[in-house]
Amino acid sequence: MKVRKDMRQKCPKCGYEKCITKAVVDNPRYPSGVILRCKQCKSIFSLDNGEWVFFKEWY
């Protein structure tokens, strides 16, 4: 699937504007639901009550 400009989000940690959201189901490494991965600061955020909450860093 191609990423469109309206699918991009802004990173709450570093402010990078080209982050991609992804839906996660039945993956033990990530929280289930929607996650946001930032390629600049290597952080993963989970969506909790409409706000992005820091989950962990990925390498």
Per residue in 6-32, pLDDT (tens digit) is: 778 999 999 999 999 999 999 998 888
Q: What pTM was computed for the model?
A: 0.81
Question: In sequence order, what are the residues at sequence separation of 6 or more whose Cβ sits closer than 8 angstroms to the Cβ of residue 52?
Answer: 9, 12, 36, 45, 46
Q: SS3 for 46?
A: strand
Backbone angles phi, psi at 6, to 5 degrees: -75, -10
pLDDT of residue 53: 95
- Domain edges within the chain: 5-57
Return mean pLDDT, the chain: 89
